[in-house]
Homo-oligomer: A and B are copies of this chain.
Amino acid sequence: MGRVLYDLAGADPALRFSPFCWRIRMALAHKDLEVEAIPWRFTEKDRIAFSGQGLVPVLVDGDRTLHDSWAIAEYLEAAYPHRPSLFGGPEAQAVTRFVNGWTDSVLHPWIARMVVRDILDCIRPEDAGYFRESRETRFGMTLEQFVAAREETLPEFRRALQPLRLALRGQSFLAGEAPAHADYIVFGAFMWARSVSPFRLLEADDPVHAWRGRMLGLFDGLAAGAPGHDLQAQGSGAAR
């Protein structure tokens, strides 16, 4: 039996923009596990109803069905112990949960404020109503209000990345000299932004910018080759 990932897609089925799905795309590549990442849209709840819930990523691995990006990462680590470790041991796995918690509760709300309006331009017209309504309810403001505020709040967003800068001061990746799941969790948020928005989040001299560049190049450019905006070129001031 094959391995299938239900992966959030835009109107263009090649555009994959879920930060949670990107965590798993990178984790599967880290473990050198093949996967068919099939496009799935917000409103196609029926297609993943077999998973017992309505959100992606959903991973079908042989006869196992899994959902929730953290649970999937734990599953992959346990099910494929002889492949490269996603964490580097139980203590590292535990501390990575803090990175996961920071990403979910701090980084994602910030990225959402920066790019959520741009998602409207990337998804199918029939999904736009669901998207606008669910997000405006969640955030308590219109998507257009986010756009109006983002230039003003950009400096505060960049300050919120300071824990990343301090961690990267002494090492190339959050997990040390080689990347691991802590990196994929944070990187998923930047892939979300890159996939849907031309808005420039990072300055070219930001250590987070350099780290993102290293992440884009991993696994033969898995992420760099995905449809999205050329943020590295933007950041460096090069021609697009």
Question: What residues of chain A have their CB less than 8 Å away from a CB belonging to chain B?
Answer: 85, 87-102, 104-106, 162-167, 170-171, 173-177, 180, 182
The 8 Å CB contact of A102, one of B91, B93, B94, B102, is: B102
Q: Taking the nearest CB of chain B, how far is it from the CB of A155, in angstroms?
A: 15
B98 touches A98 (CB 8 A): yes
Majority-rule SS of A interface residues? helix
Residues of B within 8 A of A165 (CB): 101
Query: Can you pick out 11 interface pairs between chain A and chain B where the beta carbons lie within 8 Å of each other?
Result: A85-B91, A91-B176, A91-B180, A92-B92, A92-B95, A94-B177, A95-B95, A95-B99, A97-B170, A100-B167, A102-B163
Q: A95-B175, A98-B164, A98-B167 are in contact. List 8 more A-B contacts (CB 8 A).
A: A91-B92, A94-B173, A94-B175, A97-B171, A100-B167, A101-B164, A101-B166, A101-B167
CB distance from A170 to the nearest CB of B (A): 7
Q: A94-B176, A96-B95, A182-B95 are in contact. Are A163 and B105 (CB under 8 A)?
A: yes
Copies in the complex: 2
A4 to chain B, nearest CB (A): 27
* Nearest B residue (CB) for A99: B98
Contact B106 A162 (CB under 8 A): yes
Given A105-B163, A106-B163, are A174 and B94 also a contact pair (CB < 8 Å)?
Answer: yes
- Once bound together, how far apart are the Cα atoms of A111 and B102, in whole Å? 18
Query: Would B162 and A105 count as touching, CB distance under 8 A?
Result: yes
Minimum CB distance partner of A161 in chain B: B105
